């Protein structure tokens, strides 16, 4: 009997301690007073892939939305005049080579005659000069051929950076000029750009932490949020607005120009917070369970780490338990 009484007493004590461990007394807590603002996903830099030669666009390998790496071939610009010019230079190189071979032979003959005393020094000097002229003419023709070959190589339009293609304003068969934009790329290090009212300028600072809502402006504030950091606050106010940039991870799959909800701190205020796992929903309504066993309807606010703010339905000093 004593053992039974002792076991019962220990069981009741454990149950009582477990129940106390599940209780939470609601007290006002100072939290950051966060305001929801709309941010726009933007690229830090937008770069243009430009044509280096004039001609006709013969190949286009990308379209809007494609991801490219630095150095990838985006398009090819062909110029038929380069092929014609190359053929003319080939013929010129052959002629210069023949003139060089003849001048070399004349110089060798003049050298032999000079050594045997049957030619003058002036004749030898003239043959040497003709050989040098022929050599320079051959070198010039080969250099021009290399220039044409380099121009043909520059017909390939390469991606200057890794990123996503935003615009392709040309199509295959288009005539393009030197320096004309073939594609516009956005670098992949996207940021969120905030356009805030002037009254927020005194609260926001570089290095501040902000909360980023779930993708889509219709997402609920109680859903899990990501954390971002204010990278830069621009030191100029235009038309009563201050601009700030926020960096965050996992922005690579966003559309450039897409809007997202961001929560920034604008001071501190007292709030009633409860652990997130104490809150449960039924029929689309949020509930909390009181210590006395009753259930109350509450209005949930924004999440703060592992707790959720209760906007209405709770009072200071209420004791809630896990459902």
Which is nearest to 303 in space by CA: 70, 88, 36?
Answer: 36
Are 52 and 180 within 8 A, CB to CB? no
How many CA atoms are closer than 13 Å to the CA of 217, on its beta-carbon side? 8
Pairing between β-strand 175-176 and β-strand 163-167 as defined by DSSP bridges: unpaired
Are 141 and 165 within 8 A, CB to CB? no
Are 218 and 272 within 8 A, CB to CB? no
* Band of pLDDT at residue 224, cut at 50, 70 and 90: low
Mean pLDDT for the stretch of residues 282-295: 88
DSSP character for 276?
G
Mean pLDDT for the stretch of residues 43-55: 85
Q: Which residue range(s) make up the domain with 181?
A: 47-78+155-187
187, 208, 240 — which closes off a domain?
187
Compute the Cα dihedral for 72, 77, 83, 86 and give only its sign.
Answer: negative
Report the pLDDT value the prediction gives residue 35, as an integer from 0 to 100: 81
Percent residues over pLDDT 90 in the chain: 4
Write the pLDDT tens digit of every residue in 154-212: 888 998 888 888 889 998 888 889 889 999 988 767 888 988 888 888 888 888 888 88
In a domain? residue 12: no
232 and 110 in a common domain? no
* Band of pLDDT at residue 37, cut at 50, 70 and 90: confident
In a domain? residue 304: yes
109 and 51 in a common domain? no
We report the CATH number of the domain holding residue 67 as 2.40.50.100
51 and 172 in a common domain? yes
Question: Is residue 321 pLDDT above 60, yes or no?
Answer: yes
In a domain? residue 98: yes
The C-alpha atoms of residue 139 and residue 132 are separated, in whole angstroms, by: 11
Neighbours of 160 (CB within 10 A): 17
We report the CATH number of the domain holding residue 105 as 1.10.287
How many CA atoms are closer than 13 Å to the CA of 69, on its beta-carbon side? 1
Which is nearest to 187 in space by CA: 166, 162, 167, 158?
Answer: 162
Question: Is residue 222 pLDDT above 50, yes or no?
Answer: no
Mean pLDDT for the stretch of residues 53-57: 86
* Band of pLDDT at residue 17, cut at 50, 70 and 90: very low
In a domain? residue 9: no
Mean pLDDT of the chain: 82
Report the pLDDT value the prediction gives residue 217, as an integer from 0 to 100: 61
172 and 65 in a common domain? yes
Report the pLDDT value the prediction gives residue 56, as an integer from 0 to 100: 87
Residue-wise DSSP of 123-137 = HHHHHHHHHHHHHHH
Write the pLDDT tens digit of every residue in 61-70: 998 888 888 8
Write the pLDDT tens digit of every residue in 96-141: 899 889 888 988 888 888 888 787 888 888 888 988 998 998 888 8
93 and 30 in a common domain? no
**In the block, which residue shows the tokens 């950051």?**
32
Report the pLDDT value the prediction gives residue 207, as an integer from 0 to 100: 87
In a domain? residue 13: no
235 and 306 in a common domain? yes
138, 166, 187 — which closes off a domain?
187
Q: Is 175 helix (H, G, I), strand (E, B) or coil?
A: strand
246 and 167 in a common domain? no
Structure tokens at 175: 């005539």
153, 173, 202 — which closes off a domain?
153
**Domain tally for the chain?**
3
Question: Is residue 16 pLDDT above 80, yes or no?
Answer: no
In a domain? residue 51: yes
Mean pLDDT for the stretch of residues 41-69: 86
Which is nearest to 19 in space by CA: 292, 300, 305?
Answer: 292
Could you give phi then psi for residue 205, rounded to 5 degrees? -140, 155
Mean pLDDT for the stretch of residues 4-33: 59
Report the pLDDT value the prediction gives residue 252, as an integer from 0 to 100: 62
252 and 168 in a common domain? no
161 and 68 in a common domain? yes
* Band of pLDDT at residue 322, cut at 50, 70 and 90: confident
Report the pLDDT value the prediction gives residue 183, as an integer from 0 to 100: 92
In a domain? residue 183: yes
In a domain? residue 5: no
Which is nearest to 162 in space by CA: 90, 268, 78, 252?
Answer: 252
231 and 300 in a common domain? yes
163 and 53 in a common domain? yes
* Band of pLDDT at residue 223, cut at 50, 70 and 90: low
Chain centroid to CA 171: how far? 25
195 and 281 in a common domain? yes
The three state secondary structure string of 42-87 is EECCEEEEECCCCEEEEEECCCCCCEECCCCEEEEEECHHHHHHHH
Which is nearest to 304 in space by CA: 40, 29, 21?
Answer: 29
Report the pLDDT value the prediction gives residue 8, as an integer from 0 to 100: 44
Q: Is 3 helix (H, G, I), strand (E, B) or coil?
A: helix
Are 206 and 228 within 8 A, CB to CB? no
We report the CATH number of the domain holding residue 292 as 2.40.30.170
């Amino acid at each position: 009997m004593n053992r039974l009484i002792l076991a019962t007493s220990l069981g009741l004590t454990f149950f009582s301690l477990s129940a106390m461990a599940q209780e939470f007394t609601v007290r006002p807590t100072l939290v950051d007073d966060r305001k929801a603002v709309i941010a726009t996903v933007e690229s830090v830099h937008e770069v243009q892939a430009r044509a280096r030669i004039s001609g006709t666009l013969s190949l286009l390998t990308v379209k809007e939305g494609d991801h490219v790496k630095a150095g990838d071939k985006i398009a090819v610009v062909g110029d038929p005049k380069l092929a014609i010019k190359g053929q003319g230079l080939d013929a010129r190189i052959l002629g210069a080579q023949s003139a060089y071979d003849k001048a070399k032979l004349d110089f060798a003959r003049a050298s032999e005659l000079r050594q045997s005393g049957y030619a003058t020094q002036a004749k030898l000097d003239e043959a040497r000069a003709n050989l040098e002229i022929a050599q320079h003419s051959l070198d010039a023709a080969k250099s021009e051929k290399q220039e044409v070959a380099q121009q043909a190589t520059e017909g390939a339009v390469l991606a200057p950076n890794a990123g996503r293609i935003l615009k392709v304003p040309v199509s295959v068969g288009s005539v393009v000029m030197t320096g004309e934009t073939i594609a516009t790329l956005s670098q992949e290090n996207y940021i969120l750009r905030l356009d805030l009212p002037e009254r927020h300028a005194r609260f926001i600072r570089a290095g501040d932490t902000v909360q980023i809502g779930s993708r889509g402006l219709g997402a609920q504030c109680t859903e899990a949020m990501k954390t971002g950091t204010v990278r830069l606050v621009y030191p100029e106010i235009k038309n009563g607005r201050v601009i700030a940039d926020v960096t965050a991870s996992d922005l690579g799959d966003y559309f450039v120009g897409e809007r997202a909800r961001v929560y920034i701190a604008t001071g501190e205020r007292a709030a009633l917070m409860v652990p997130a796992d104490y809150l449960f929903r039924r029929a689309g309504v949020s509930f909390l369970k009181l210590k006395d066993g009753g259930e109350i309807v509450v209005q949930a606010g924004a999440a703060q780490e592992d707790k959720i703010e209760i906007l209405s339905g709770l009072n200071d000093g209420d004791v809630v338990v896990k459902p």
